[in-house]
């Protein structure tokens, strides 16, 4: 029977927590940037560009956090 090997290292867990905190901060920044964009944009192209940047604040840290989580398995 194959036995599972448990990791005793806490380094990946700490790194993962840090990345999820960065992801949370990026989400908050993205919401704020999106709200500012919708408030001050004067045209549809400005709104689209601003919302794309707001999404990038949330999506890029999320993708990095998921990648680190999968690599540390």
- For residues 23 and 6, give the distance between their C-alpha atoms in angstroms, rounded to a whole number: 27
Q: Does residue 17 register a pLDDT over 90?
A: no
* Angle subtended at Cα 60 by Cα 46 and Cα 32, rounded to the nearest 5 degrees: 50
* CA end-to-end distance (rounded Å), the chain: 21
What whole-number distance in Å separates Cα of residue 44 and Cα of residue 61? 26
Torsion sign, CA atoms 10, 13, 17, 19? positive
Query: What pLDDT digit, counting tens, does each position of 27-70 carry?
Result: 999 999 999 999 999 999 999 999 999 999 999 999 998 988 88
State the average pLDDT over residues 1-13: 58
pTM above 0.85, yes or no: no
Give the pair of three-digit tokens for residue 3.
């036995």
């Amino acid at each position: 029977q194959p036995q599972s090997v448990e990791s005793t290292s806490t380094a990946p867990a700490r790194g993962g927590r840090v990345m999820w905190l960065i992801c949370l901060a990026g989400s908050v920044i993205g919401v704020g940037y999106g709200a500012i964009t919708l408030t001050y944009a004067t045209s549809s192209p400005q709104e689209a560009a601003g919302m794309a940047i707001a999404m990038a604040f949330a999506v890029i840290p999320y993708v990095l956090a998921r990648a680190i989580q999968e690599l540390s398995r």
